[in-house]
Structure 1
Amino acid sequence: MTATAPAIAAYADDQLYRVLLVEDDEADALLVEELLHDTGLPFRLTVTTTLADACAELVGEPADCILLDLHLPDASGPAAVATVRASAPHTAVVVLTGLSERHAGTDAMAAGAQDYLVKGKVEPDLLRRTVRYAVYRSRSERAAVEAQAARLQAQENKRLERGLLPQPLLETRAVTITTRYLPGREQALLGGDFLDAVEDDGVLHGIVGDVSGHGPDAAALGVCLRIAWRSLVLGGHRGAELLRLLDRILSAERREPHLFATCALITLDQGARTATLHLAGHDAPLLSTDQGTLEVSSAHGIALGIAPELGQWPQTVIPLPATGGLTLYTDGLTEGYAGDTDRRLGVDGLLGLIDRLPPTDPGTHVDLLIKEARALNAGRHTDDLAVLRLDWGPRGPSEGS
């Protein structure tokens, strides 16, 4: 898209232009400085006489526009443009050519310069327009690159999300499933948090897990563990045996030896009116009833990938009330700060938030809880969070997720 003159003028009105002049001829450098003063542009000028000095200057002091002579003691021609572009890829470059160099300007633009000026034929108005347009176009190109990177990142997020957040495999409407997943940072790739729920022989099985670290390695390992869990559950594996198999898979599949994972397994059997819980280094779930919400008192086992030889994961059997809900979550929900303090929210703070929330359906309740927790944290702690909530009883089937 071609920038219009009004758009460039509006963009440049009050901008201070940081100009780096790379010129080894003292008389030419003085002439350029005088022309810059005559343009009326607000500017701060830095002058270097070699390309090496210019590149060193750009490391400590970024520039908005580089005015580059094509004949320097240590570089010349398109190679000089390529070098300075490598040092400052998002900075506008305008080259200064001689009267006899017919093709030098176009060759420099092919090498990455935004424009060129012929020495001896530069007037203040021309220099003003050239600098403003070059900076505007450079910024526009950078914005386009960043937008493309954001699009690619969004596509990668969708691909990872399909692996980390599958469609629950259910046959019954007796239990309402609510799932939420939020990355810790804006535009961040999904991390290693994962969740899933499947039904097998009339019994509902769920998992929430958290791979240590962030980025593609953690996400890939989270996807691997989630798929392995679903396959193993449908293959009849349960409890501590299932966790031992996941521990072996994690140790075999992780790319970095320090990666580990916490997880909570839940088996909800409405026929027996019980929920069986296994924790591997993970927070206990929350049980909500008509009397309120509390953390389930649970036996704990070691996280996966820490010490396979110590892998003991005792079970906790939870009697189910006629109506209620179990919320499993990753620590991204509790490790944020509790308002304007250095104190973490923690489970007690989370329970306090829940007590203050109005009665509502499970999906809205989870959304409000995440919103309140993030508002208190105010962006100071950045971690992914995943929530799996299971609701049963007379109200469950009629509520959305």
Structure 2
Amino acid sequence: MTSFVTNPTGAAPQEQTYRVVLIEDDLADAVLVEELLLDTGLRFELTTCTSLAGARTDPALRTADCILLDLHLPDVSGTKAVAAVRAAAPHTAVIVLTGLSEAQAGSDAMAAGAQDYLVKGKVNADLLHRAVRYAVYRSQTELANAQTQAATLRAEENSRLERGLLPQPLLSTSAVTVTTRYLPGTELALLGGDFLDVVEGDDGLLHAVVGDVSGHGPDAAALGVCLRIAWRSLILGGHRGRELLHLMERILIAERGDRPLFATCALLTLDHGAATAELHLAGHHGPLLSTDRGSREITAAHGIALGIDPRVSNWPASLIPLPAAGALTLYTDGLTEGRNGSARGRLGVEGLLTLIDRLPQSDPAAHIDLLIKETSALNAGRHSDDVAVLRLDWREPAAPEPRTAPDRVRG
């Protein structure tokens, strides 16, 4: 039986409407509770059930603000009734109704999770008014606190994962400037399947990787973090080129289990002193080279993506001559797969090159931020895929200062 009271005497029009579920098998007591609710002046909607089983199947239980619970029902009683109701509606305020002779029952019910208890025969409208309002308030406060704590824990976990996916470059040189950006494609997510990293070796060479794990969600993100950490460890261990990619593929296959995931990646080793870069492409597109004359895509040999067919292991190396000053941009395809501003075409590499040359080049970080902003605007603000960008800028080495001959000491 459901009763709706929309605006009882004395209730302000803007006052909250309390959705109340009464679980009571005694008809006389149920009528008395309804009359008391009418006298409270509260705006309320009342649903009455005669058993716990009936309440569980009533849709009103899932949206209730407050449950008034008799401790002696046909199918359950005592603290078991409280526990059962809390399990069915964990975020709803519960007020138990006890008999005059049950001195300890109310305290036991609150220990079991009820917000308050009322003794039948000693309840008046004012007492019920305060009990309902305070119980609902406490329950809502508890829920808000729990949600805040869960959000804090989730933020801390996301921060730890983000540090794993977006590490600090391991550098000691001032000759090359490293700029990175990462934007997950999933709304409200912090992580995706793309990964990037930069490490300077003891030999002075700069090693960089940009990769993209297929798919979206936590599985792809976790595998991306794993491959990024594996790459850095293998680089520091002295592994290079084809051998490095072979080991990364073995790790990918072991970590993906029975999930059909694969990864593309580009490995780059920049030798600033020799003005060259060695490039390995595993199913990934080539980087972009920018100079004061404009930007172009590097032409390089391509190999198979990691995890597609471990029997192939074909990743040829390409040696790229570099200008005295310039920039290399490695990126994932989330930067080019968006629309080019029209309903039909995609931006593509050519559109990206046009954007790069059109934007101001003075500051690498500002340039990348503008580039991501422009590609997002052309795609109407949508990001269907993750975006990872790694840019390496270098300048022409300064000429050594000429040595001056020492003054002769006259004897």
Contact 1:207 1:266 in 2 (8 A): yes
Residue of structure 1 equivalent to 2:100: 99
- What RMSD, in angstroms, separates the aligned Cα atoms of the two structures? 3.3
For 1:203 and 1:359, the matched residues in 2 are separated by 25
Contact 1:337 1:381 in 2 (8 A): no
Contact 2:21 2:60 in 1 (8 A): no
Q: Which runs of 5+ in 2 are unaligned?
A: 1-12, 398-411
For 1:340 and 1:141, the matched residues in 2 are separated by 49
| CA displacement, residues 42-77 of structure 1 (integer Å, 9 cap, x when unaligned) | 322222222122223359842222222212121111
Task: Note closer, same or farther for the CA distance 1:39–1:257 as it changes in structure 2 (3 Å cut).
Answer: same
- Give 3-state SS (helix, strand or coil) of 1:153's partner: helix
Measure how far apart 1:247 and its partner are.
Answer: 0.5
Residue identity matched to 1:239:
G
1:87 matched to 2:100: no
For 1:196 and 1:220, the matched residues in 2 are separated by 15
Measure how far apart 1:183 and its partner are.
Answer: 4.4
Task: Note closer, same or farther for the CA distance 1:77–1:243 as it changes in structure 2 (3 Å cut).
Answer: same
Residue of structure 1 equivalent to 2:288: 286
Contact 1:153 1:187 in 2 (8 A): no
Contact 1:217 1:255 in 2 (8 A): no
Larger deviation: 104-113 or 286-295? 286-295
1:129 matched to 2:130: yes
Measure how far apart 1:98 and its partner are.
Answer: 2.0
Residue identity matched to 2:292:
D
Contact 2:20 2:68 in 1 (8 A): yes
Residue of structure 1 equivalent to 2:50: 49
Measure how far apart 1:333 and its partner are.
Answer: 4.1
For 2:188 and 2:375, the matched residues in 1 are separated by 20
Task: Note closer, same or farther for the CA distance 1:300–1:96 as it changes in structure 2 (3 Å cut).
Answer: farther
Task: Note closer, same or farther for the CA distance 1:54–1:326 as it changes in structure 2 (3 Å cut).
Answer: farther
Residue of structure 2 equivalent to 1:143: 144
Task: Note closer, same or farther for the CA distance 1:282–1:103 as it changes in structure 2 (3 Å cut).
Answer: farther
1:202 matched to 2:204: yes
Residue identity matched to 2:143:
R
Aligned 1:90-239 pairs, distance under 5 A: 90-184=91-185, 188=189, 190-200=191-201, 201-213=203-215, 217-239=219-241
Residue identity matched to 1:121:
K
| CA displacement, residues 169-224 of structure 1 (integer Å, 9 cap, x when unaligned) | 22321110112334455764634432211123232110112334556554443333
Residue of structure 1 equivalent to 2:405: none
Aligned 1:2-401 pairs, distance under 5 A: 14-58=15-59, 61-184=62-185, 188=189, 190-200=191-201, 201-213=203-215, 217-334=219-336, 347=349, 350-351=352-353, 354=356, 357-374=359-376, 381=383, 384-393=386-395
Larger deviation: 162-171 or 242-251? 162-171
Q: How many residues align?
A: 385
- Give 3-state SS (helix, strand or coil) of 1:221's partner: helix
Measure how far apart 1:381 and its partner are.
Answer: 4.6
- Give 3-state SS (helix, strand or coil) of 2:311's partner: helix
Measure how far apart 1:308 and its partner are.
Answer: 0.9
Larger deviation: 265-274 or 344-353? 344-353
Measure how far apart 1:132 and its partner are.
Answer: 2.0
- Give 3-state SS (helix, strand or coil) of 1:75's partner: coil
For 1:339 and 1:139, the matched residues in 2 are separated by 46
- Give 3-state SS (helix, strand or coil) of 2:304's partner: coil
For 2:123 and 2:346, the matched residues in 1 are separated by 62
For 1:393 and 1:263, the matched residues in 2 are separated by 26
For 1:225 and 1:38, the matched residues in 2 are separated by 67
Residue of structure 2 equivalent to 1:6: none
TM-score by length of 2: 0.80
Flag the structure with higher helix content. 1
For 2:221 and 2:360, the matched residues in 1 are separated by 34
Task: Note closer, same or farther for the CA distance 1:194–1:89 as it changes in structure 2 (3 Å cut).
Answer: same
Task: Note closer, same or farther for the CA distance 1:186–1:153 as it changes in structure 2 (3 Å cut).
Answer: farther
For 2:126 and 2:361, the matched residues in 1 are separated by 67
Larger deviation: 350-359 or 257-266? 350-359
Contact 1:240 1:313 in 2 (8 A): yes
| CA displacement, residues 219-246 of structure 1 (integer Å, 9 cap, x when unaligned) | 4433332232123223443323321121
Contact 1:337 1:380 in 2 (8 A): no
Contact 1:58 1:87 in 2 (8 A): no
| CA displacement, residues 113-160 of structure 1 (integer Å, 9 cap, x when unaligned) | 111222233333322222222222212111211222222223223333
State the identity %. 72
Task: Note closer, same or farther for the CA distance 1:47–1:346 as it changes in structure 2 (3 Å cut).
Answer: farther
For 2:342 and 2:72, the matched residues in 1 are separated by 58
Q: Which runs of 5+ in 1 are unaligned?
A: 1-11, 396-401
Contact 1:334 1:347 in 2 (8 A): yes
For 1:180 and 1:393, the matched residues in 2 are separated by 21
| CA displacement, residues 85-111 of structure 1 (integer Å, 9 cap, x when unaligned) | 112221222222222221222111111
Residue of structure 1 equivalent to 2:8: none
